[in-house]
Structure 1
């Protein structure tokens, strides 16, 4: 009998985290339900050699370069769809589980055909009493995407919430919906690609769900911190380029025109303050990437970002 779920793990120079994630899945989840696909984004640290020696039974996709979160995961999603899996579970590799997460999410999706995707409650790795990411929403007035970090109570664990978006940190997706909505937008590369896909799937007539009875733990930001120069702080400077650019792209496509004046004032002050901070702290590379992100966010043609939708 074919397995219903393909778990997609995208690795980029983080073999230790990926190994721990795989071991966690194998320890707590029923392997009769899933296959693991490891997509490697052109790692330069012999990651694939390490994985293949330790887990020869897994499926491997070798991307020759860093394709980003969006297209890197798309390679795994395409394999999942082409091989006939019913669902794909996109997971960050800096995560761990302590319950049968796959069975929990699979059971929910099987009984809720209106759902395109579902995510669990994601707790911080360093403090497992606090939520890193919960139900996703979008404040159209401010233009901010928000994750509810309220720790679920006993009654919350008995149900689910219809969210506006689910996080790519752990995104259990119905493959038949992806065939209609399309995969991650590869031009987003990194950040907001999960929010954008959620809105596209909802636009196709489906829901996305938050299921707090399922849980996992996330370290958060491992790849973003790997190559960050010390003089520029702990976070890689290029992150500010992708976050600012993709945030503006998202607002241009899914924001409310009525709210644009408030969006511009609210986010304009935020980005100006952030730029001033970088300049004062002499974090020139971060300032440069932020300016580049803002310019491309505002001036890139929507026909280039969403060619099939225009």
Structure 2
């Protein structure tokens, strides 16, 4: 078997459904398997998996075992030569894994491969390529120095700014939302360190792989949506665990430092203030919707349920549609029907139309909900559709 995709889920049932659907489409031409590990979700994630994806291997843990152990359990069951660690709040394009496979085939001494990640508004997520967070690199991140000196190798290492978002190359650290590597290498280095509950596990694994002499790569030729905020609430518990996780990583690999711990405490405090301010700014209440779908009746049903004006179109013709007078001057949300458009087309659309004042939702194929996120700081939104009026089939 060529590839095993491991998806660790915790209480994100609708995002998981869309993720597994996109992965299935992306694996159609690859000898592969999908393994979903559920960390004792309180929603109906497991029931959904059994009903909609009965062919997918589902592992139901009896407690929330954390990110490292949950993924290690999944990899232990994997049969593929390669594994992909994938977050449930992601959407892959139909050719994502084929492109990654081609890159692996022509690149030597590969450790881990990551790819270009975007948020639910189409904006690039810089954390998908990073440098090793030494005390100095962490300092440049905490105090934002990387923003002022993006060209300087002294200040730009945290987000691996020696590479642009559209340039493939070697990086130190990749994000756990999307990681592809040989299963034997994962097992050789011990997988994710279970002494760390979450947050520094991907940094630790990336750095451990580097120490074997392998090279980690950021691959820009495929984009994956990572809603990001959906998996974790950015509250006090998050900040405490994040600080503890970074302290764990530094102590494990660099011996610990009082100065570094002070930096982390300051950074955690500033980060908490920033995130709170950013989340307060996420206010977007669409007054009308632009629906791209081959089903005109779907627009009528959405208009009835949402009590908002729905403008319907079969084809994505931005120049013609966005120039209409009735689309100007009011908040607009664009809804993309996965029956009509592939995930690859949807991802490309988000990237092309980022920062134009629109928000985006997707109706996954054979699903009865709209799903999306208005910001990388937003937990995401799911709008359930009334089954009596809606039939996406």
Instruction: Using structure 1 for the length normalisation, give the TM-score.
Output: 0.75
Distance of 2:222 and 2:53 partners within structure 1: 26
Structure 1 residue corresponding to 2:130, chosen from 133, 136, 139: 136
Structure 2 residue corresponding to 1:33, chosen from 15, 31, 34: 31
Q: Secondary structure at the match of 2:165?
A: coil
Q: 1:270 to 1:87 in 2, by over 3 A?
A: same
Distance of 1:86 and 1:183 partners within structure 2: 15
Distance of 2:88 and 2:269 partners within structure 1: 34
Per-residue deviation, 1:262: 5.6
Q: Which residue of 2 aligns with 1:237?
A: 236
| Structure number having the greater helix percentage | 1
Structure 2 residue corresponding to 1:5, chosen from 3, 16, 21: 3
Distance of 1:101 and 1:269 partners within structure 2: 39
Q: Which residue of 1 aligns with 2:103?
A: 108
**Contact 1:124 1:132 survives alignment (8 Å):** no
Q: Secondary structure at the match of 1:23?
A: helix
Distance of 1:265 and 1:105 partners within structure 2: 40
**Deviation sequence 1:70-108 (CA, Å, 0-9, x none):** 11111111111xx3x101101111111234111111222
Distance of 2:262 and 2:127 partners within structure 1: 27
**Contact 1:10 1:38 survives alignment (8 Å):** yes
Structure 2 residue corresponding to 1:152, chosen from 148, 161, 165: 165
**Deviation sequence 1:150-182 (CA, Å, 0-9, x none):** 7634xx2xxx31111111000001112123211
**Contact 2:124 2:165 survives alignment (8 Å):** no
Q: Which residue of 2 aligns with 1:200?
A: 208
Q: How does 1:1-310 map onto structure 2 within 5 Å?
A: 3-80=1-78, 83=79, 85-126=80-121, 128-144=122-138, 146-148=158-160, 152-153=165-166, 156=167, 160-225=168-233, 235-255=234-254, 260=257, 263-264=260-261, 266-271=263-268
- Alignment size in residue pairs: 256
**Contact 1:165 1:195 survives alignment (8 Å):** yes
Q: Secondary structure at the match of 1:133?
A: helix
**Contact 2:2 2:81 survives alignment (8 Å):** yes
Per-residue deviation, 1:272: 6.1
Q: 1:31 to 1:14 in 2, by over 3 A?
A: farther
Per-residue deviation, 1:256: 7.9
Per-residue deviation, 1:202: 1.2
Query: Superposition RMSD on alpha carbons, in Å?
Result: 2.6
**Contact 2:243 2:265 survives alignment (8 Å):** no
* Greater mean deviation of Cα atoms: 86-95 or 24-33: 24-33
**Contact 2:120 2:227 survives alignment (8 Å):** yes
Unaligned runs of 5+ in 1: 226-234, 279-310
Distance of 2:164 and 2:215 partners within structure 1: 22
Distance of 1:237 and 1:271 partners within structure 2: 10
**Contact 2:9 2:88 survives alignment (8 Å):** yes
Unaligned runs of 5+ in 2: 142-157, 275-393
Distance of 1:268 and 1:242 partners within structure 2: 12
Bigger Rg, which one? 2
